[in-house]
Amino acid sequence: MSSGVNRPLEIETLSDEDLAALAAQWRVRALRGERDANGRAHELEREIRRRSAALSTLSAQLRAPREPTYRWWRFWRK
């Protein structure tokens, strides 16, 4: 079985679907006991998480700061 992707530059050029498929293939190989497969699967899964985090933060909306709440038990320190 071929190694698929070896360099980080090649990983960045993959589509999200190809990256997920390749990560799944490497994870299966790791579960079968192949020596270097766990590291490669982890590297590909890390790239998937990095991409999904970038997508989720780009569309995030900022919240208004919370107002400080009045603590009723500290009425004597006002």
Q: Which segments of 1-78 does DSSP mark as H helices, in order?
A: 8-13, 16-31, 37-58
**Higher pLDDT residue, 59 or 67?**
67
Residue 68 CA, chain-centre distance (Å), reads 34
Band (58; pLDDT cuts 50, 70, 90): low
Band (65; pLDDT cuts 50, 70, 90): confident
Band (1; pLDDT cuts 50, 70, 90): very low
